[in-house]
Amino acid sequence: MKITLTKPDDWHLHLRDDEAMTSVVAHTAERFARAIVMPNLKPPVANTQLAADYRQRILDALPENSGFTPLMTLYMTDLLTSDEVIRAKQSGFVHGIKLYPAGATTNSDAGVADIRKLYPVLETMQRESMPLLVHAEVTEPEIDIFDRERVFIDRHMTKLRQEFPELAIVFEHVTTRDAVDFVRESNGPIGATITVQHLMYNRNHMLAGGIRPHYYCLPILKRETHQEALIEAATSGNSRFFLGTDSAPHPQHAKECACGCAGCYTAHAAIELYTEIFEAENALDKLEGFASHHGPDFYGMPRNTERITLQKRDWQVAESYRFGKDMVVPLKAGQTVHWQLITEQGG
């Protein structure tokens, strides 16, 4: 059995930098034509010049003739200005500005402390048609980690949608039924990315019978009822939901330790795993929309013209991959994946 799709895009990706990036970027470039690249480096990619420099490093790291296009983003800090938003828009290569609440995830210490102070910047983004990409979690320690997305919706997302009705908002890596309902029911331009790991797993997979650090990501895996809502949204054909892997490589030693990093590495088999999920839901006819059409339509970009083919054929994921001077353990390490991307060389 084979299926052919318009070559998909990844609308949420972490590539890291330098030697580590060079080790992993080919996995994405093989499967995706474009990707929205997250800006949470150290120091963060907080202005257009830094984005240009990072983009060039990505292009230099790509395999020859890959054809892959990195779509850059800026990191929203408390110092972001309207002039910088305009420069980013005029660059032609910056396609969004990422809002990390301070302390929400990896390298988010420079994130926004009070979104209300950036309302003038958001007004400029709305006028310039620059999307706001939101990591939608509160970070107060007294809020239960499993409730942080829901509380962010109540405190901030609803108000953002009301105050800036024409601002394009991407609700990144939704993890709850609350988020799915918010995206479905909101007015104005809004979309949401959904990851492989949040479709495949729930918190029982991560915690029952022993802690599995390579399933640990932020936002954290939720209850099975939330997982079911995500699967229904992804396979529904609703154009507000599209593919975003949030593939986030970390060195093996930084995951398998007393204070392990948050993030799942999925770029090595992302489109194959999404295909498994859609097949299990008898929704392969909806996969191309989710993976290849809804994202570019939301961002106002042309759909890709290149196509890829996947074959129903078992293959085993490597136990680890090189990651700079370290190793990264991928999702489903050592396990079988049931769909395989057919390369130009035939397998």
pLDDT score at 109 = 58
CB atoms under 10 Å from CB of 181, counted, come to 14
pLDDT score at 345 = 40
At residue 330, what is the residue type?
P
Look-up of token digits 């802690």: 211
Q: What pLDDT digit, counting tens, does each position of 17-39 carry?
A: 999 999 999 999 999 999 999 99
Does the annotation place 15 within a ligand binding site? yes
Does the annotation place 262 within a ligand binding site? yes
Does the annotation place 14 within a ligand binding site? yes
pLDDT score at 112 = 81
Q: What pLDDT digit, counting tens, does each position of 57-94 carry?
A: 999 999 999 999 999 999 999 999 999 999 999 999 99
Longest Cα separation, the chain? 54
Backbone angles phi, psi at 329, to 5 degrees: -95, 120
Options 246, 297, 314, 326, the catalytic residue? 246
Residue of 317, 337, 329 lying closest to 214 (CA atoms): 329
CA 242 → CA 12, 70, 171, distances in Å?
Answer: 10, 17, 11
Does the annotation place 246 within a ligand binding site? yes
- The pLDDT of residue 176 is above 70: yes
State mean pLDDT over 209-231.
96
* 246 in catalytic set: yes
DSSP designation for 180: H
Q: What pLDDT digit, counting tens, does each position of 295-316 carry?
A: 999 999 999 999 999 999 999 9
pLDDT score at 259 = 84
pLDDT score at 47 = 97
At residue 123, what is the residue type?
E
Look-up of token digits 């400029």: 124
Structure tokens at 23: 């080790």
Look up the pTM and report it.
0.95
Instruction: Walk me through the domains of the chain, giving residue ranges and CATH numbers.
Output: 9-305 (3.20.20.140)
Q: Which of 76-85, 212-221, 252-261, 338-347 has the lowest mean pLDDT?
A: 338-347
